[in-house]
Amino acid sequence: MTASIDTPTGINVYCPGDGRLVGTVTDMGAAAIGDVCTQLRSAQPAWEEMGPAGRATWLLRWLDWLLDNEQRLLEMVQSETGKSWADASMEMAVAIDVINYFAKNAEKFLADRVVKPAGIANSVRRLRVQVRPYPLVGLITPWNGPLGGPMMDVVGALVAGAAVVSKPSEVTPLTWAEVTRGWRDEVEAPPVLACVTGAAAAGAAVVDNADMVMFTGSVRTGRAIAVRCAERLIPCSLELGGKDPMIVLADADLERASSAAVWGSMTNAGQACISVERVYVEAPVYDTFVSLVTEKAAGLRQGMDAPGSFSCDIGAMVTASQADIVQRQVDDAVAKGARLLLGGSMKPGGRFFEPTVLVDVDHSMACMREETFGPTVAIMAVRDEDEAIALANDSEYGLSSSVWTRDPRKAQRLARRIEAGSVSVNNALVATFQLPIPMGGWKNSGVGTRFGGARGVLKYCREQSVVEERFALKSEPLWYPVGPVKSRLIAKAARMLGAHDWRRRLGRPGR
């Protein structure tokens, strides 16, 4: 397959499904990106002044434009990713949900918070906390979701009142460049959202110009961004890799669990940080579960189907380097004793890696320790729930997970033992897209969260405490001049109000 090749002036984008050239974007330099950021900053104060209701109106107009252009935009998604039409369509569903949710709740999430004063001495004051957006948010997103990925974060930042400079992956930049063009040229929204294109240097320029950074991608790049943000003393939120475990207990509904294992591991050709990558099954039901998974995975239809046809289940691997990682992990597992029940290699014609089922795996194998990001599922038998939990937690990652059992109490107990940012009970991936609750990773899976109700907006804001006096006295007791009578009275009052027994309130000597 043809790979993306940088030209002196731009970056070519090729379709992973058939190799054709689908577009070219500019490889922007730091100076050009700096100019874009300057323009965004100049427009941001008016955007903030508009208030949450005014900003929500523009977001809903943007949504109207997205829906009016849905077919064309999803064809762009498919062309630059090689997705199946079903996987491409999911990206518009994400955009619809996120825009509607944050637009509907913007005023409530950003409302001032009135706080009760602490202590009698402060009862004469009114306390509130108000929020102000970071003027410029930098958003850097990966190649696996050209439309849905940026939408998961950009809406909260815009609703908050920030301007946003966004950089999509140089591998799949076309859809997001068009979506931001629609905001600017078709919706004619305020100029507070821009897309800059380029490779690693462009991403570094975004980090160097922003006041807050939201990054989704690899652990290695996330660490580098965190270091640079620390040097600049600006905050960052990082959603990084995953190696998500699925625990199937003996009392689980195996028909449902096996279907979830196939969908959770294969959707988007496994190219999702929340994919099911390793499954731990209690020994009494292991053989049955493996048989069900293998049968269902064998029935998957793979390819890049015609727009609107919904005739394929999964599509292509977006990059050749990621396909190489998947192949290396499969080969490593087989060399160390794993059995390959299905798939295991690239198909001829197009960058399509076969749906793959590995069994008899263990934690000496790369497929159980490294992020795979491909259409594979590795299944391991365990003695009991304790071994399953121990193995699930034996990972540098902690993003998502799932527990499968008919016993609700058991599910709740095990969920508290899993070291991951989210746990789905008797479902796969579902906890990730619940907008009222946070999505975030533990350990090397990231810092910070996305979504989480109001937190999905407030993460892009700075808190500002405001204290107002109920009564404007001519002077305060602690103000100058200092005098012995006044100071002793203040000390006695503090003791009287703060001590918990009469001896100490009255200042009597200890026994």
| Residue 91 lies inside a defined structural domain of this protein | yes
Contact 434, 455 (CB under 8 A): no
| Residue 385 lies inside a defined structural domain of this protein | yes
The percent of residues above 90 in pLDDT, for the chain, comes to: 89
| Residue 80 lies inside a defined structural domain of this protein | yes
Domain count, the chain: 3
Residue type at 168 in one-letter notation: P
Contact 131, 464 (CB under 8 A): yes
Check whether residue 104 and residue 131 sit in a common domain.
yes
Check whether residue 299 and residue 196 sit in a common domain.
no
Tens of pLDDT along 349-364? 899 999 999 999 999 9
| Residue 211 lies inside a defined structural domain of this protein | yes
Q: At what angle do helices 408-415 and 385-392 cross, to 10 degrees?
A: 30
Q: Which residue has the tokens 């490294």?
A: 370
Contact 216, 149 (CB under 8 A): yes
Check whether residue 117 and residue 155 sit in a common domain.
yes
Average pLDDT over residues 372-376: 98
| Residue 419 lies inside a defined structural domain of this protein | yes
pLDDT at 1: 41
Name which of 474, 464, 496 is nearest 121 in CA terms.
496
Please indicate, yes or no, whether the overall pTM of this predicted structure exceeds 0.85.
Answer: yes
Residue 494's domain comprises: 476-506
Average pLDDT over residues 412-437: 96
pLDDT at 503: 87
Contact 86, 108 (CB under 8 A): no
pLDDT at 509 exceeding the cut of 90: no
| Residue 22 lies inside a defined structural domain of this protein | no
Check whether residue 236 and residue 301 sit in a common domain.
no
Q: How would residue 511 be classed by pLDDT, with cut points 50, 70 and 90?
A: low
Check whether residue 263 and residue 214 sit in a common domain.
no
CATH code of the domain in which 66 resides: 3.40.605.10
Buried b (16+ CB within 10 A) or exposed e, 138-158: bbbbbbbbbbbbbbbbbbbbb
pLDDT at 2: 42
| Residue 438 lies inside a defined structural domain of this protein | no
Check whether residue 422 and residue 497 sit in a common domain.
no
Check whether residue 370 and residue 289 sit in a common domain.
yes
pLDDT at 139 exceeding the cut of 80: yes
Name which of 275, 358, 249, 373 is nearest 321 in CA terms.
373
CA distances from 239 to 56, 158, 332 (A): 25, 19, 28
CATH code of the domain in which 374 resides: 3.40.309.10
Average pLDDT over residues 432-437: 93
Check whether residue 380 and residue 393 sit in a common domain.
yes
Check whether residue 237 and residue 249 sit in a common domain.
no
pLDDT at 252: 98
| Residue 445 lies inside a defined structural domain of this protein | no
Check whether residue 161 and residue 121 sit in a common domain.
yes
Check whether residue 354 and residue 488 sit in a common domain.
no
Average pLDDT over residues 50-77: 98
Check whether residue 195 and residue 282 sit in a common domain.
no
Positions annotated as catalytic residues are 239
Tens of pLDDT along 278-290? 999 999 999 999 9
DSSP3 helix / strand / coil % (the chain, rounded to 5) = 45, 20, 35
Tens of pLDDT along 269-317? 999 999 999 999 999 999 999 999 999 999 999 999 999 999 999 999 9
Average pLDDT over residues 185-194: 98
Name which of 328, 337, 403, 316 is nearest 372 in CA terms.
328
pLDDT at 497 exceeding the cut of 90: no
pLDDT at 257 exceeding the cut of 80: yes
Residue 488 C-beta-side C-alpha neighbours within 13 Å: 4
Sheet holding 125-133, edge to edge: 113-115, 125-133, 461-469
Tens of pLDDT along 384-397? 999 999 999 999 99
